[in-house]
Amino acid sequence: MRPTHLIAAFVVVFLWGMNFVPMKVAVSEIPPIFLTGLRMAATALILVGFVSPPRGHYRRVMLLSLVMGTTHYGLIYSGIAEVDVAVTAIVIQLGVPFSAILALVMLNDRFGWRRTLGLIVAFGGVVLLAGEPQTASSLPHLLMIVAAAFFWALANVLIKSLNEIPTFTVVCYMALFASDLGENRRRGADHRRRCRDPVAVAKGRSRTELEPGNRNGAMKKTYQSPNYDERRPDGLIDMLVFHYTGMQTAEEALQRLCDEQAKVSAHYVVDEDGTCHALVDEEHRAWHAGVASWRGNTDINARSIGIEIVNPGHEFGYRPFPSAQLEAVRDLALGVLRRHPIPPRNVVGHSDVAPTRKQDPGELFDWPGLAVSGIGLWTEGDATPVDAADVCRWLERLGYDTTDEEAALLAFQRHFLRHRLTGIADELTRRRLSAVVEFAEMQTA
């Protein structure tokens, strides 16, 4: 080994050892899971402009990001919060014997008596540390660090199967996926905490009443629609559907949605000045989607929240949505997402679930802006174009009913390629379709 290699090895070990002190300081100020996402996001931000996507290897890189980026770092950050830095640095070395054992099991590696003796010594040392009085008092956190060492070892085995991908590409996209996973875990915990509000349960108040509907004040309940029925027994709400009213005035739309003879309604209506009206409580099944389908589900009303956005629509002079209205829609939607487990790919427009009948909320709706706030699915990424013969299958993978392929393709364009409303599967459309489907499935995984 050359002297330069020895020096490089020493520098790596030195920097690795110095890593634990700032780690300890950071977890005293930042929640461990959020810190994990922050670290991964910073890594991805530095590298993403210099590497190409790992096309064809997304699933394996995502698995690595879950094992290494999210689980390993989440555990070690959680453990070091209550364990000394020195103990953490020693215990994490179990990653080496764990790697040897996993290599034996998964890669058919072999080792003799010396390596076996080394494994016994390594594990014995950790047992001694666990028995030390000061360490024993934080045994659960010590076990978190042991688990972190195991997942680090498992990640090493997984990396072995990614030799064909450039190293910095693996690091970048592992960090990119892990930053999203870490944030989703944090948001998921926040969601569960909000949905288990003991004050609300004790007072018997509906979840709709717990939260202001818009940034200008409390939700208005001047209008109440009789057009609803009960949801399914399981009560699962996992979709959010945006509409435009498609009528000349807000008053006209509100009157119709509250007309018993009309047999239509929505949970909310958002006026152009940002005023929000609650017409149907979220626990009830509003009649807003009609004949519709998404991801094979045909009773969209039973599993969704419907938001009507005041706009004349294509029939009466379709126009851009005012900023005050979009801000109110954003705030309202964020409240809905906090109360219900709705994945980004299930935040849709009426035209997405009923492509042969509807075109709302239309191509002027700010899907990209909502996605920045964590509402819905959006990507402008590039990908290998879908084969023309496979367009239907890819649309179905995303969720569309392709009984009428041209209508489904036009609905896709209206949502994800808004300047190209042709209903034709040209190369640009097929590229965007590929990118959106891969992004949706990555988030679901």
Residues tagged active-site: 308
Contacts of 354 (CB under 8 A, 6+ apart): 289, 290, 291, 292, 293
Beta strands in 190-280 (DSSP E): 228-230, 239-244, 268-270, 276-278
* Separation of alpha carbons 81 and 75, rounded Å: 10
Q: HSE-up of 273 (CA within 13 Å, CB side)?
A: 6
Angle between helices 73-80 and 167-195 (to 10 degrees): 60
* Separation of alpha carbons 186 and 33, rounded Å: 7
**Ramachandran region of residue 269, left (φ > 0), alpha (ψ -120 to 50) or beta?**
beta
Distances (CA, A) of 338 to 211, 221, 333, 412: 10, 21, 9, 26
Bridge partners of 277?
220, 269
* Separation of alpha carbons 67 and 150, rounded Å: 10
**Cβ(293)–Cβ(302) under 8 Å?**
no
Tokens of 95: 């990653």
**Cβ(82)–Cβ(141) under 8 Å?**
yes
